[in-house]
Amino acid sequence: MDQTTIQLAKELSVQVIRQAGQIAKSKFDRFVDLKTKDEYGDVITEVDLLAEEIIIHAIKSAFPSHQIHSEEAGIVGSESDWLWLIDPLDGTNNFAIGLAVFTTSITLMYRREPVLGVVYEPMTDRLFVSAVGHGTICNNRPLHMKYHSDLSRGNIGWIQGHKVQNDSRAVKLRQFLDIRFKRMLRLWAPTLLWCMLAKGDIDGIVLYNSEGDDLYSGILMVQEASGVVMDFEGHSFNGMCDEPYLIACHPNHREDLLTIVREGLF
């Protein structure tokens, strides 16, 4: 793994993600074009496309041999050890209804493992950066997972894929978590939940079958902030997965949160 490539990728990502984020901020509550893109009610705006175009162009120019997969454009370039994952507007449905809860996410994968994650929240001007082996920072401030001894009084984030809808097993687990914790958050902007966990604003995340271009930047944010990410069997999560079922939290909450999730499932 080439550290020079990761450093150059980091510098590029920080620059271009701010540009993309400012487009979203400038058009918030005043965009024009909105389309429904699938049967699950997911939408796409002109901002998704404008931000995506800026990011893809910058990456292609700087790293022509790298492959890119983006939320709207799909696969760009030939297969490579290096794969960029782009979500130009994570939280598009929020953006579309005037709810200021959205981010832009850029991830660089090397041989199916995340090595760089950059997430920008334009409405608050918060920039989260995580590089493998170098920790996670928010606006240049190092982040570390926070431990609260009473997990039952904690806040848990819930993430589910668009296709999950009202799957009975998911509904059962969701309702169980909702009454088990102080608060269960469903932001419909997954990268922001991952960053909140890394920052210590929430105490855990339960993810139910939600894979996409917004996933791996968040996982790296939490891992590099000394958090744990595991599957519903308690195995540490690595690589990529088409249908992930994940739990993320402070290491000291690992067994407790795993037990709660399994109780909610069975």
pLDDT tens track for 132-167: 999 999 999 999 999 989 998 999 999 999 889 999
- What whole-number distance in Å separates Cα of residue 86 and Cα of residue 52? 8
Residue 41 has pLDDT above 60, yes or no: no
Percent of the chain with pLDDT over 70: 96
Sheet of 228-231: strands edge to edge?
Answer: 183-185, 155-160, 204-208, 245-249, 228-231
**Would residue 144 be called left, alpha or beta, if left means φ above 0 and alpha means ψ between -120 and 50 degrees?**
beta
Helices 168-180 and 254-265 sit at what angle, rounded to 10 degrees? 130
- What whole-number distance in Å separates Cα of residue 58 and Cα of residue 16? 7
Residue 11 has pLDDT above 70, yes or no: yes
Residue 31 has pLDDT above 70, yes or no: no
pTM: 0.94
Ordered by start, the domain boundaries in the chain are: 3-143, 151-265
In CATH terms, the fold of domain 151-265 is D-Maltodextrin-Binding Protein; domain 2 (3.40.190)
CA gyration radius, the chain: 18
- pLDDT value, residue 43: 79
Lowest-confidence pick of 41-55, 99-113, 202-216, 237-251: 41-55
Level-2 CATH architecture, domain 3-143: 2-Layer Sandwich (3.30)
Residue 10 structure tokens: 């980091």
- SS3 at position 45: strand
Average pLDDT over residues 77-96: 95
The number of CA neighbours under 13 Å toward the Cβ of 188 is 15
Average pLDDT over residues 55-84: 95
**Nearest one of 158, 116, 111 to 136, comparing CA atoms:** 116
Instruction: Assign 71 a pLDDT band (cuts: 50, 70, 90).
Output: confident
Instruction: Assign 39 a pLDDT band (cuts: 50, 70, 90).
Output: low
Average pLDDT over residues 202-231: 97
